[in-house]
Structure 1
Amino acid sequence: MLDNQALNLSSPVLDDAHEGDIRGAFGTIRKQDTAPRKTWGARLRTLLAIMGPGLIVMVGDNDAGGIATYAQAGQNYGTSLLWVLLLLIPVLIVNQEMVVRLGLVTGVGHARLIFERFGRFWGAFSVGDLFIVNCLTLITEFIGIDLAMSYFGVSPYISVPISALLLIAITVTGSFRRWEAFMYLFILANFLVIPLAIWSHPHAGPVIHDFFVPHVQGGLNSDALLLIISMVGTTVAPWQLFFQQSNVIDKRLTPRWMSYERADTVIGAFVVILGAAALIIATAFAFQGTNLAGAFTDAGAVAKGLAEKVGPLSGAFFAIVLLNASLIGAASVTLSTSYAFGDVFGVKHSLHRNWRDALGFYVSYTILILISGGIVLIPHAPLGLITTAVQALAGVLLPSATVFLLLLCNDKDVLGPWVNKMWLNVVSSIIVGVLVMLSFILAVTTLFPDVNVQLLTVVLAGILVIGLLVAGLLYYRQRGKNPTYPESEQDRMTWRMPPLSTLPKPVWSKTRKLGMILLRGYLLVAVIMLIVKAVQLSLGH
């Protein structure tokens, strides 16, 4: 049972550990602190205390898979794909800002909201898929740990268990502040990519040009298109939605701190893109004109290549960056799963609680870490198949995750005066549509490598444009009168979603029902294709 007795009955928060003083790594804000921040110094101190969830979720997304993807982009295509990163900044900000609003206003995790507002089928599907994808993603993080430490001659039978114990130790301390402080150490290590880029002796002209002029070195082909999609997929991941919404709740943030958490998210978006750009620049200029240009194999080989072409220190720094990315990625992905586990099964789930007081939360975290790390140590484990499965399953999950996010942010019973504005709906609908299209392409091409990617992209782009126009027309015709909500800024800052049990059941329009049927059909076909492909790969075809 959750400790609801200690909560105000008007509060939507499900766990009393989620209410109280904000205790961040760089400061504390008392619950009763309502004083306005009038000076820049006061605002900066408040930002430092609140910052964390947005920065951690963004940097955590530059995980082992992200490091490998960006290194591949630089090694195989030079700096010609930097423009993709620039386009991803608004995508990251829009997606995660919607999650921030959901967390601060509702006080309820993403998984629970989906269960309550979309029913058990969609709730079970979303959370079940999240568990599977996160478990497979976590295995790839341990693969990254293995590759990084192997560069230094450390056996995986040493590096993987020690890393697993470290990940468990920094999470079960019973202190949100201590956990966040550990995450900041990982974030700080992320900036080692800057000297990596400098040591490769980059030229400013090509870098600036490739940031703002979309093109592909050697011309656009199916391989380049797939890499672009992979860059999008590794930067915009479904687990981010679940993690940040639960983490801002766990940090005890409310709508009063909306502007600060938005700033945290924006800063995080620029930091993650800076790191990704530095990796592309480093590998692009390090391998330019050498026999390793266009010859990417894996992240471990990149470290060895940098040591050969730039110097041993460069190779060591890349290995450390890979190790750090794998650790923060593993910590974030696993915690998003444990948060969702707590949401679904009603167990206490907060980093403010010690392990005795939140045993189910910490046990689920520990089991996931141990199982994933153990799989990497199994001789002849199908690690290549697992890596492929992560991409395909993420492609299957992303459409439903982004669709649910947009619908929840337009649910007036849930967000009240904080629902999306019209312009944001237009922008987010385009972003969601593009993400759905790209994830579908990634899933199809993963399952059927011989498909004509360019033709598939053109056809889906046409369908997307038509779909967005039709959806816009239907929305315009069916829009209803908005209920009355607080208009003053002070009233908006204190508005919270009522307890979930008191909300009226959502009324589904014919358009929404049709959309959910189409989404269910897409997911059914995608899962069947994935199962067929897995069987083929397991049989050696």
Structure 2
Amino acid sequence: MPTEPLDPELVVEDEAGRSWTRRLGPGLVTGAADDDPSGIATYSQAGAQFGFGLLWTMLLTFPLMVAIQSISARMGRVTGRGLATNLRRHYPSQILYAAVMVLLIANTINIAADLAAMGAAAKLVLGGPVPVYVVLLGTFSLLLQVFVPYERYARILKWLTLVLLAYVAIVFVIPVDWKAVGLSIVKPHIQFSGHYLTTVVAVLGTTISPYLFFWQASQEVEEIRSEPGQEALLRAPQQAESQLSRITFDTWIGMAMSNGVAFFIILAAATTLHAHHIQITTSADAASALKPIAGSFAFLLFSLGIIGTGLLALPVLAGSAAYAAAGTMKWRNSLALQVSLAKQFYAVIAIAILGGVILTFVNFDPIDALYWSAVVNGLAAVPIMVLVMLMSARRDIMGEFIVTGLLRWVGWIATAVMALAALGMFWPT
């Protein structure tokens, strides 16, 4: 005998009564995925080159990330559609095609850089050839996305965020001058050299990336589909209070984790590598350099963290590309669907992952890949953020849930900061 559908009002009450851990989801995973191996390399370089001099950037990016990710999540929950679908419905197709193409290219390059870093970290810990680890890790990530049911897969990603605590633990196994840390935050020594500003731009481009906007919005849509009784807020405004509250809580926690871990990575590199005048170029270099300075335990934590964060970031990078492409081309898209029902969607995921694997074998320089993915992401972020902010204020899209007040102001400030960062990429070094 078929069961009666759940009353949305009852679902709302259940949502409000959830434990705080169950209220975490898309925002937590999005924030954690931002600290991928490429990001770890950028933060490690920042600490190795400038010591505590760039810790202030994490205080700057935190509210900016919260704002733009909250707005992206709200758009997904309010409309029941991802960013790409909303863009296709309300703006010229040429704008959308250009944005999605740039996103696909940047994500594939980023996947390649992450896989190269993961393979190098696996070699440090286990020995053996890097290419084998690249193929195995890429294949494992792809199989998880294709064959593990969405609800179970989402829980795996959620718990995998705990791997980031490795970077917090490192700081507590090495001596840190906390007074100097505090002074560097309260009175940052900002330099106006080309090299310093280029590193600031790299940190901003690594922290606020377009693929995160697409991913979190689409995950809110997935949550609607996977939970009985849930609807887009335009169709079920009675669910707005609990859902918008959950999004705010989830996003604040997720971005706090993202920026907090980045802060500790910069701090660890500053305390060890900068103090010993050691310069690095990759996250694996940072792990190797840590061993003689901070000991085997810190080395092991850092290396395993690279692999763990890579496994978290790969599905977000590939998945965001697939959501964007599917929304653009009107394909069925959901990680909850069987492959046979969403062939094009899963094909994009496979192409992104396999493309990343192939790039590591074709005269691939992970440093160049890291640089160019940061450049492309930084350039792509600005027009996408402008469009997101414009859509969030349109009543024909958001209805009564248009973004107003402080959240709107901070969202535009984030957009302006990223525009300045994009211009800064051309600062002469």
Q: With structure 2 as the length reference, what TM-score do the two structures score?
A: 0.90
State the Cα distance separating 1:428 from its structure 2 match. Answer: 2.5
Q: What one-letter code is carried by the residue in structure 1 that aligns with 2:402? A: V
Structure-2 residue corresponding to 1:301: 285
1:221 to 2:207 alignment: no
1:432 to 2:415 alignment: yes
Q: What one-letter code is carried by the residue in structure 2 that aligns with 1:222? A: G
Contact 2:281 2:367 in 1 (8 A): no
Structure-1 residue corresponding to 2:306: 322
Contact 1:174 1:354 in 2 (8 A): no
Q: What one-letter code is carried by the residue in structure 2 that aligns with 1:194? A: V
| 1:90-133 superposed Cα distances (whole Å, 9 cap, x missing partner) | 10111011111111111111112112211111111111111111
Structure-2 residue corresponding to 1:116: 89
Q: What secondary structure does 1:57 align onto?
A: helix
Structure-1 residue corresponding to 2:220: 248
Alignment of 1:82-481 (within 5 A): 82-152=55-125, 153-173=127-147, 175-216=149-190, 219-252=191-224, 254-255=232-233, 256=239, 257-292=243-278, 295-378=279-362, 380-442=363-425, 444-445=426-427, 449-450=428-429
State the Cα distance separating 1:409 from its structure 2 match. Answer: 0.7
State the Cα distance separating 1:309 from its structure 2 match. Answer: 0.6
Q: What one-letter code is carried by the residue in structure 1 that aligns with 2:295? A: G
Q: What one-letter code is carried by the residue in structure 2 that aligns with 1:388? A: Y
Structure 1 residues not aligned, in runs of 5+: 1-20, 22-29, 451-541
Contact 2:209 2:378 in 1 (8 A): no
Cα distance change on mapping 1:251 and 1:64 into 2, 3 Å: same
Q: Which structure has the highest helix share of the two?
A: 2
Q: What one-letter code is carried by the residue in structure 1 that aligns with 2:28? A: L
Max Rg structure: 1
Contact 2:65 2:414 in 1 (8 A): no
Structure-1 residue corresponding to 2:227: none
CA distance in 2, matches of 1:74, 1:31: 52
State the Cα distance separating 1:327 from its structure 2 match. Answer: 2.1
Contact 1:83 1:213 in 2 (8 A): no
Alignment of 1:503-514 (within 5 A): none
State the Cα distance separating 1:209 from its structure 2 match. Answer: 2.6
> Comparing both chains, which one has the higher relative contact order based on Cα–Cα distances under 8 Å and sequence gaps of 6 or more?
2
Contact 2:56 2:188 in 1 (8 A): yes
Q: What one-letter code is carried by the residue in structure 1 that aligns with 2:396? A: D
Q: What secondary structure does 1:48 align onto?
A: coil
Cα distance change on mapping 1:62 and 1:213 into 2, 3 Å: same
Cα distance change on mapping 1:360 and 1:224 into 2, 3 Å: same
- 1:52 pairs, out of 4, 25, 40, with 25
CA distance in 2, matches of 1:150, 1:220: 38
Q: What secondary structure does 1:246 align onto?
A: helix
CA distance in 1, matches of 2:307, 2:106: 21
Q: What one-letter code is carried by the residue in structure 1 that aligns with 2:155? A: A
CA distance in 1, matches of 2:89, 2:261: 38
Structure-1 residue corresponding to 2:236: none
| 1:514-534 superposed Cα distances (whole Å, 9 cap, x missing partner) | xxxxxxxxxxxxxxxxxxxxx
Cα distance change on mapping 1:275 and 1:31 into 2, 3 Å: farther
Of all paired residues, the percent bearing the same amino acid is 21
CA distance in 1, matches of 2:6, 2:214: 25
| 1:204-246 superposed Cα distances (whole Å, 9 cap, x missing partner) | 2222232333324xx4422111111111110000111111111
CA distance in 2, matches of 1:371, 1:37: 42
CA distance in 1, matches of 2:296, 2:289: 10
State the Cα distance separating 1:325 from its structure 2 match. Answer: 2.0
Q: With structure 1 as the length reference, what TM-score do the two structures score?
A: 0.72
Q: What one-letter code is carried by the residue in structure 2 that aligns with 1:277? A: F
Q: What one-letter code is carried by the residue in structure 2 that aligns with 1:32? A: D
CA distance in 1, matches of 2:274, 2:387: 43
Q: What secondary structure does 1:356 align onto?
A: helix
Q: What secondary structure does 1:62 align onto?
A: coil
Q: What one-letter code is carried by the residue in structure 1 that aligns with 2:273? A: F
Contact 2:209 2:377 in 1 (8 A): yes
State the Cα distance separating 1:58 from its structure 2 match. Answer: 0.8
Cα distance change on mapping 1:50 and 1:38 into 2, 3 Å: closer
State the Cα distance separating 1:198 from its structure 2 match. Answer: 0.9
RMSD: 2.3
Contact 2:170 2:302 in 1 (8 A): yes
Contact 1:51 1:264 in 2 (8 A): yes
Q: What secondary structure does 1:377 align onto?
A: coil
State the Cα distance separating 1:47 from its structure 2 match. Answer: 4.5
CA distance in 2, matches of 1:243, 1:285: 34
Cα distance change on mapping 1:149 and 1:83 into 2, 3 Å: same
Q: What secondary structure does 2:66 align onto?
A: helix
State the Cα distance separating 1:33 from its structure 2 match. Answer: 4.6
State the Cα distance separating 1:38 from its structure 2 match. Answer: 7.5
Q: What one-letter code is carried by the residue in structure 2 that aligns with 1:168? A: L
Q: What one-letter code is carried by the residue in structure 1 that aligns with 2:345? A: F
CA distance in 2, matches of 1:36, 1:184: 22
Structure 2 residues not aligned, in runs of 5+: 225-229, 234-238
Contact 1:199 1:282 in 2 (8 A): no
Runs of 4+ in 1 over 4 A off after TM superposition: 36-39
CA distance in 2, matches of 1:31, 1:209: 55
